[in-house]
């Protein structure tokens, strides 16, 4: 791997050379003459492509409501999370940070609690340590995605503004997104200075705090009722002993 240090740089393929960016530097490598793929590598490549498409769907679904700037590695980190989790393990998305530099715990010593009824409870606590910030915006974002049809089936959001110069007595946020698909609940926090929003990446966060699947209730077949009807009188057979009627006849 070579590194281009000249003023003029390029990206992409030129002849048998490929230029690409890595960690802010333009690197150079040659195109391999042959590429050997086994059955395992082909399966891995296919799964990585599927994971990349799922990651792109998640990002596009959240884009209308997400206000912070993601870090430069968010795409790769999200794809890696999906690949590592395996197929249809959406629960592994819980805890993913769109800004890898800061998590929600930075802002809340006592973490907010999200319940299945769509309510986020933020306990009363002392909020401090945000530099010159005077206000905090807390945004609860709920996005329901049907990964089978690759469609967004619903969205909802609730916003809370907290005055950091006043004691915080707790608050609740609520979202409601019924329907089919996987519900991703994201909590976003932004801080504001006196003259506007802070762009310090250490003071802005967005994290998936809950993942809920729609569970289809199992249909239980009704139990068959025993036949309580008595046999017809003409079908009743009298017991016999040695082929004769046990009751003597007169």
User: What percent of the chain is modeled with pLDDT above 70?
Assistant: 80
- The phi and psi torsions of 27 (rounded to 5 degrees) equal -110, 160
pTM of the predicted model as reported, rounded to 2 decimal places? 0.72
What local confidence, expressed as pLDDT, does residue 190 receive? 97
- The sign of the torsion formed by the CA atoms of 236, 239, 244, 249 equals negative
Least confident of 160-164, 179-183, 230-234: 230-234
Average pLDDT, the chain: 85
* Confidence at 15, pLDDT banded by 50, 70, 90: confident
Query: Could you give the dihedral angle defined by the CA atoms of residues 64, 91, 80 and 67, in that order, rounded to the nearest 10 degrees?
Result: 20
**pLDDT, tens digit (0-9, with 9 covering 90-100), for 172-205:** 999 999 999 999 999 999 999 999 999 999 999 9
Check pLDDT > 90 for residue 210. yes
* Confidence at 48, pLDDT banded by 50, 70, 90: confident
**pLDDT, tens digit (0-9, with 9 covering 90-100), for 84-128:** 998 889 999 999 999 999 999 999 999 999 998 999 999 999 998
What local confidence, expressed as pLDDT, does residue 244 receive? 57
């Amino acid at each position: 791997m070579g590194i281009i240090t000249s003023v003029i740089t390029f990206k992409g393929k030129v002849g048998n050379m490929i230029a690409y960016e890595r960690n802010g530097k333009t690197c150079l490598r040659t195109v391999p003459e042959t590429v050997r793929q086994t059955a395992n590598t082909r399966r891995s490549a296919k799964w990585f492509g599927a994971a990349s498409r799922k990651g792109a769907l998640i990002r596009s679904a959240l884009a209308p409501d997400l206000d912070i700037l993601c870090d430069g590695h968010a795409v790769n980190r999200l794809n890696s999370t999906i690949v590592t989790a395996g197929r249809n393990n959406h629960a592994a998305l819980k805890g993913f940070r769109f800004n890898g530099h800061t998590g929600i715990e930075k802002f809340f010593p006592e973490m907010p609690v999200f319940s299945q009824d769509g309510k986020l409870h933020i306990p009363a606590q002392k909020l401090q340590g945000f530099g010159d910030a005077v206000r905090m915006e807390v945004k609860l974002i709920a996005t329901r995605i049907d990964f089978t049809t690759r469609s967004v089936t619903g969205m909802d959001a609730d916003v809370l503004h907290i005055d950091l110069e006043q004691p915080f007595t707790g608050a609740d946020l609520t979202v409601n997104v019924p329907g089919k698909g996987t519900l991703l609940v994201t909590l976003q926090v932004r801080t504001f200075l006196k003259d506007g929003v802070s762009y310090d990446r250490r003071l802005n966060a967005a994290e998936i705090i809950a993942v809920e699947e729609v569970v289809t209730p199992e249909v239980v077949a009704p139990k068959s009722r025993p036949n309580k009807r008595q046999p017809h009188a003409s079908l009743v057979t009298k017991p016999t002993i040695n082929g004769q009627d046990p009751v003597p006849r007169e």
